[in-house]
């Protein structure tokens, strides 16, 4: 069965758990999908592309490192040439640093900021240039992935990561105001602990997993599909008056600031 294409959804970090879940859901809802991900993730990205196209959807893979301006510019240009200006964008590319401040490494911090902050800002720039009704775009919705860590500074060892997501929140709020009259809405989704590569260590350490889940009011970590549901809602007409908002999706936040 071939789906009628009703929009174009561009996803950075498209081979990751949340990006892939959003790609699947968006494709089922009639979006053509542009997956922007690292060349090193080509195998998993192309597997996802096959899954979508064999199911009747349209999708392509655009290799790019979001910390490279030139690669971002080329990826967004190619995406628009393939399926027209995007109408829904999820910026899910990001990395994690888990070090106490006294042990921080300059190169690791720089790489994290280059991807989580500078890279996201450049991705937003390119998306706005394509989507803005003032430049011939169709308007639409940009969803930036932040984190519940931004609300409390993260768990011990996560302060740099939390700071990068705090920057995402503040930037997204200001960006939303800039483009509100250009047909573009900008919001963030702030996941808590979600099953992904970042939390894979919890599967190998049942005691740590229990401690993390005990610190979450709902008593469990989230699933990628739950974040995808929020992203698609933010891209839909159902959220047409929502911009500059932060949607918390962390099972209620944190019960305690423990040692995990």
**pLDDT one-digit tens code per residue, 169-188:** 999 999 999 999 999 999 99
Is CATH 1.10.3110.10 correct for 7-249?
A: no
Phi, psi of 256 (to 5 degrees): -140, 160
End-to-end CA distance of the chain: give it in Å, rounded: 47
**Can you tell me whether residue 191 is helix, strand or coil?**
strand
Q: Name 194's bridge partners.
A: 222
pLDDT bucket at 5, cuts 50 / 70 / 90: low
39-47 long-range contacts, Cβ below 8 Å, gap at least 24? Answer: 39/63, 39/65, 41/15, 44/15, 44/20, 45/14, 45/15
Tell me what pLDDT residue 258 has: 47
pLDDT for 1 equals: 41
pLDDT top residue among 7 and 202: 7
Domain ranges of the chain: 7-249
| pTM confidence score | 0.92
User: Which residue in 31, 76, 83, 161 is the catalytic one?
Assistant: 161
Nearest to 9 by CA among 75, 101, 90: 90
* Residues 175, 216: Cα–Cα separation, whole Å: 31
pLDDT tens track for 89-134: 999 999 989 899 999 999 999 999 999 999 999 999 999 999 999 9
pLDDT score of 4 more than 60: no
- Look up 83 and say whether it is catalytic: no
The residues, ordered by sequence, that sit 6+ positions from 235 with a Cβ below 8 Å of its Cβ are 7, 9, 26, 87, 88, 90, 140, 141, 143
Identify the weakest region by mean pLDDT among 18-22, 48-52, 203-207, 247-251.
Answer: 203-207
């Amino acid at each position: 069965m071939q789906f009628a294409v009703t929009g174009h959804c561009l996803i950075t970090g498209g081979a990751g758990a949340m990006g892939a879940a959003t790609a699947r859901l968006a494709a089922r809802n009639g979006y053509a999908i542009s997956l922007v991900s690292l060349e090193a993730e080509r195998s998993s990205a192309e597997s996802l592309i096959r899954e979508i196209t064999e199911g009747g959807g349209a999708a392509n893979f655009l290799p790019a490192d979001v910390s490279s301006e030139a690669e971002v510019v080329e990826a967004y240009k190619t995406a628009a040439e393939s399926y027209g200006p995007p109408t829904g964008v999820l910026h899910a590319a990001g990395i994690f640093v888990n070090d106490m401040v006294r042990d921080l490494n300059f190169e690791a911090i720089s790489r994290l900021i280059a991807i989580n902050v500078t890279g996201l800002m450049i991705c937003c720039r390119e998306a706005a240039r394509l989507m803005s009704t003032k430049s011939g775009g169709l308007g639409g919705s940009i969803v930036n992935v932040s984190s519940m860590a931004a609300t409390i500074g993260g768990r011990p060892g996560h302060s740099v990561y939390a700071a990068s997501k705090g920057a995402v929140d503040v930037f997204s709020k200001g960006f939303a105001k800039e483009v509100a009259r250009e047909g573009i809405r900008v919001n963030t989704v702030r996941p808590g602990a979600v099953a992904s590569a970042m939390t894979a260590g919890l599967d190998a350490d049942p005691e740590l997993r229990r401690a993390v889940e005990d610190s979450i009011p709902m008593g469990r970590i989230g699933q990628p599909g739950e974040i995808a549901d929020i992203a698609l809602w933010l891209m839909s007409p159902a959220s047409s008056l929502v911009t500059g908002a932060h949607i918390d999706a962390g099972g209620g936040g944190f019960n305690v600031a423990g040692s995990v």
